[in-house]
A and B are shown apart, each in its own frame.
Chain A
Amino acid sequence: MPDRVLALVTDAWGGRGGIAQYNRDFLGAIAPAAALRILPRHASDPVRTLPAGAMQSPQRPGRWRYALAAVLDALRHRPDVVFCGHLYMAPLAAAIARLRGAHLVVQTHGIEAWPRPSRWVRWATEQADLVLSVSRYTRAQVLSWAALDPERVAVLPNTVSGRFTPGDRAAARRRFDLGDQRVLLTVGRLASSERYKGHDRVIEALPPMVASGHDVLYLVAGEGDDRARLESLARGAGMSERVRFLGAVAEGDLPDLYRAADVFVMPSTGEGFGIAFLEAMACGTPAVGLSLKGDRDALAPTQGSGAAAMGAPGRTLGDGGDGESGAPRRSLRCGAGGESGAPRRGWQDGNDWIDATLAVLSQLPGPEAPELCARSVAGRFAPPVFGRRAVALMQQVAKADSPRGDGRGDRLQGSGIRHAARA
């Protein structure tokens, strides 16, 4: 394990959102074994308790002030590893790692790492001893634009908090004032910039569902500038009574909300990871998604979980696709019980996820189903699983050859090549 780690992050303790949570999970896991200095750009909430051995400096929203503070910190404390929590900070992190002769670890999340970034970001990423990606899709995208040996890009997925567990479903339904209707749920921001999440698709699918005899209610949790449009869409479809906009739901209320639903559905075409799928399944609720991008990993526990379902082509990549990572393929895995179904319908009609949703709604899960579903998630994405991997990966980085002066960035597979890079 490295002795001293400098973490350049957008936010961590005192921050909000998925990236801040990821940073807390990662840095919290390695903190017991390293002197950890955290430099956040933002910390909107009070920083309460930090892990032992960790120090977090005040937020510095200004770019240049932040960069100066990072350089000074590195000069003063001589880190062994520079952890870069967001791709846009990679050039700064790479420069500091070079300056101090430190190893570089770059974290990539979702959509920020998918398009080809600027030349400087590419250069910086290619300096990394280790690039972490939250999903296989993001890893594949990084490798599509960075000339990196694939062994230097590892997947370290998001984790599901231990508070997401199966619970008293009846109580949860009472709490949200739900009757006998079968409940579909989506949790996510209603941002016009994130329409890929697929609220539209669910709303548009409601009329045929109802027409085919399903008495469904669609709960939409989340707030954002796209809400009015979605409400209008629901009205236009004659589904106002069947779509309930809950607004922002407090973190503490989320587990019960997931437990109350019959199926969590988010036919998203651009999910970076899809932590909400995992949270729902950890609460024992089947999840349905398109399994197109980062959500391919989050929906993996649906297979064989006994209770979950996914309405999209499975992880098979070899046939019928359009050649892009995680792109739709014709083979289909769906249906309750996580069975691997035979190809049923071509992707072109885009409605496989509806089949999967209806398959879940059409059968009553057994009493053991929520536990099975939750266990499938915990075995793969629980914080201890994450922490063990995070620490081991950092140990691996620390054990790697000294990065200084070896022509890094020009490294090619199979050594002997570093000298050549210098020449």
Chain B
Amino acid sequence: MRGPPGGSIGRRRTDSMCGLAGIFAYHDAADPLDRTELRAMRERMLARGPDGAGEWFSVDGRVGLAHRRLAILDLSDRGAQPMASADGRFVIVFNGEIYNHPELRRELERDGAVYRSGTDTETLLHLHARMGAAMVDRLRGMYAFAIWDTLECTLFLARDPYGIKPLWYANDGWTYRFASQAKALLAGGGVSRDPEPAGLVGFQLYGHVPEPFSLHREIRALPAGHTMTVDWLGPKPPRRFHHVATVLHDAVPVGSSEREVLIRDAVADSVRHHLLADVEVGVFLSAGVDSGAILGLVAEAADRPPRAITLAFEEFRGSAEDEAPLAATVASHYGAEHVVRTVGEAEFRADLPHILDAMDTPSIDGVNTWFVSKAAREAGLKVALSGLGGDELLAGYPSFADVPRWHRRLRPLRWVPGSAAIVSRLLPLVAPGLVRRQPKLRHLPRHGRSLEGAWLAKRALHLPEELPSILDPDLVAEGLRRLRPMLRLTATLDPDPGSDNGRVAALESCHYMRDQLLRDSDWAGMAHSLEIRTPLVDATVLERIAPCFAGLAPGEGKRTLAKAPSKPLPDAIVDRAKTGFGVPTGAWLSRLAAGGASGLAMSSKGEAARAWARELARA
């Protein structure tokens, strides 16, 4: 590969993807970029790409791109990044996978494109040269990338529809910086650490930092399903190209017989696409339907028995929460090689500093993903499929039933001014024990008047009314003013997804899953140099099964998914109550805190989550 005429490429070992960074000194008044800063940003992401590193600088020293590579497709040096187009006009850094890359490549080659590597990175270059920003409409996958146009002197950035891959940026008014991790931006030393009230308050509200905010005012996430262009005037506002609610809104509902076919075909097709790799692809296996069905589909599509990784916990041994026995049944059912990794409190304590270091923005979840990723990496895997997203896609969460029900019951309070406040005041008097155990309950009457409010009450770590008791009230007021949580939730439902299932799916997908589950998967997986793929989080799957949402009865989605493999999942799995990848974090934290200051006695998962959030805030 040669560098573009306008710049220089340097690299060590082989280069390519998984941690990207860049600096563009766009303002006339700005200094040329500091190369040591860019390298510091890149090296903060060493774990994301242990297979190589590369960098590119423009001749005038005002643009620099850097990359750390985890080689998965085309393991040769030809896949190195930053990668320039053959004519040298475009230079790209890319993190992720384009699953329809083979189809696109065939199409582009028919159109005259000449490939020099087997990578999807090169496909992005060819596609951008032909379509510009509209290229994102053709992509199926998880991605974050930046393309510098040496002719137009513009930087184009894009992030996948669901936000599976992260992309953070900072603009100080003179210089634009971006990276796969917020902590990488800080590591360069050129970005302000001024706090962002919306991020701090958002974390205590949700248990994660809601997009586009971070804990630092200057650092923002490029929102999922958005592109951004930066030129000599600076960054333009992000432009949306994908919106879950719009897909659901535009879908025409279908009957139950069609639903089954649509779901099975869409998921099977997605799993096939997600197996694209030049390395072995494993599967995270719990005792649930989602991961079991994926394992079944992988076993059908792969040419050798897949490996499945299951977490077990000493504390859960012999209890209903122990997933290992049922997971073993599923693995055996599909002829998979089963790896069970047992984790105990001592290991949790030992890993905690590393977990906190790897956690890019605070999250009350992710510990499970940390350990299962660790196990997968120990097993020698670079890529693993996860069942994440199945509950959002197929109405698997209790929220799909609870939220609409709460809303239906509490909606009448909208028509009686002051009634919600009165109920909120009476509740602690009528049922003090209940309110003590379920503190969010007191404020449910107010929030439950709207569907998105009911969802917030369901998902929130703390409700807005509770925040002044744990944070400075002025900070809470400013944070909420900037965050505007209800407005953001309402916007998620515009246009109307058309059904309660669709509405809850949009809220779960665009907030809880995007800002917490997917972000956790990224940092926890990449910390172990493991790429986690999510076949059930896929824009094409959403589009294909969107017509099913309105009519899905409770449990129907999962039952259908269980039948997606030609050899369906055993009934014991389908009938089992949902637990997901459970972690006895609550108990561990209790003991951790007992040795500390707070002396926690946590009786519920909610309390444990709140305690964990306090620990994280302290960290």
Contact = CB atoms under 8 A, between A and B. Distances in A.
B217 A144 contact: yes
B190 interface: yes
Nearest to A414: B223
Given A133-B173, A417-B488, A303 B240 contact: no
Given A136-B174, A319-B189, A423-B490, A416 B237 contact: no
A157 B29 contact: yes
B320 interface: no
Contact of B484 (A133, A319, A412, A414): A412
Contacts of B482: 147
B533 to A, nearest CB: 25
Interface string B300-321: 0000000000000000000000
Interface string B492-508: 01110000000000000
A316 B190 contact: yes
Interface stretch (A92-100, A148-156, A210-218, A345-353): A148-156
B166 interface: no
A181 to B, nearest CB: 34
A108 B238 CA distance: 24
A389 B194 contact: no
Contact of B173 (A149, A153, A410): A153
A154 B173 contact: yes
A421 B486 CA distance: 10
Given A393-B233, A414-B238, A416-B494, A140 B243 contact: no
Nearest to A297: B29
A416 B240 contact: yes
A151 B172 contact: no
A410 B189 CA distance: 33
B487 interface: yes
Given A155-B173, A420-B487, A420-B491, A413 B189 contact: no
A106 to B, nearest CB: 15
Contacts of B193: 317-318, 321, 323
B220 interface: yes
A185 to B, nearest CB: 24
Contact of A317 (B192, B195, B484, B490): B192
Given A150-B220, A412-B487, A381 B494 contact: no
Interface in B120-157: none
Interface string B26-39: 01111100000000
Interface in B440-493: 481-482, 484, 487-488, 490-491, 493
A205 interface: no
A128 to B, nearest CB: 13
Given A318-B188, A318-B189, A413-B238, A303 B494 contact: no
B186 interface: yes
B233 A140 contact: no
B240 A318 contact: no
Interface in A74-117: none
Contact of B236 (A151, A319, A417): A151
A318 B186 CA distance: 6
Interface in B148-180: 171-174
Given A144-B217, A379-B28, A420-B494, A414 B194 contact: no
Contacts of A153: 173
B29 A154 contact: no
Interface string A5-16: 000000000000
B190 A413 contact: no
Contacts of A178: none
B429 to A, nearest CB: 34
A394 B243 CA distance: 30
Interface string A155-191: 1010000000000000000000000000000000000
A151 B171 contact: yes
Interface residues of A, number: 48
A300 B31 contact: yes
A232 B491 CA distance: 64
A321 B494 CA distance: 43
Interface string A289-314: 00000000100100110000000000
A251 interface: no
B532 to A, nearest CB: 25
A319 B172 CA distance: 16
Which among A144, A414, A423 has the highest number of chain B CB atoms within 10 Å? A414
A154 B235 CA distance: 9
Contacts of A318: 186-191, 193
Contacts of B488: 412, 417
Interface string A106-143: 00000000000000000000000000010110011001
Contacts of B223: 413-414
A151 B26 CA distance: 13
Contacts of A421: 487, 491
B212 interface: yes
A347 B225 CA distance: 44
B226 interface: yes
A408 B457 CA distance: 28
A4 interface: no
Nearest to B212: A413
A325 B491 contact: no
Interface string B246-282: 1000000000000000000000000000000000000
A410 B494 CA distance: 15
A332 to B, nearest CB: 14
B173 A139 contact: yes
Contacts of A413: 212, 220, 223, 237-238
A249 B207 CA distance: 60
A140 B234 contact: no
A317 B174 contact: no
B342 to A, nearest CB: 40
B245 interface: yes
Contacts of B360: none
B233 A315 contact: no
Interface in A12-47: none
B186 A144 contact: no
26 contacts: A136-B172, A139-B173, A143-B217, A144-B194, A150-B171, A150-B220, A153-B173, A316-B189, A317-B193, A318-B190, A318-B191, A319-B189, A321-B193, A325-B192, A380-B29, A381-B29, A389-B233, A392-B232, A410-B487, A412-B487, A412-B488, A413-B237, A416-B240, A417-B494, A420-B487, A421-B487
Q: Which 9 interchain pairs have the tightest Cβ spacing?
A: A318-B189, A155-B173, A417-B491, A420-B491, A420-B490, A380-B29, A136-B173, A414-B223, A139-B173
Given A316-B190, A412-B488, A414-B223, 19 more contacts: A135-B173, A143-B217, A144-B194, A147-B484, A151-B171, A151-B237, A151-B238, A152-B237, A155-B27, A300-B29, A315-B190, A319-B189, A381-B29, A410-B484, A413-B237, A414-B238, A416-B494, A420-B494, A421-B487
Interface of B: 27-31, 171-174, 186-195, 212, 217-218, 220, 223, 225-226, 232-238, 240, 243, 245-246, 481-482, 484, 487-488, 490-491, 493-495
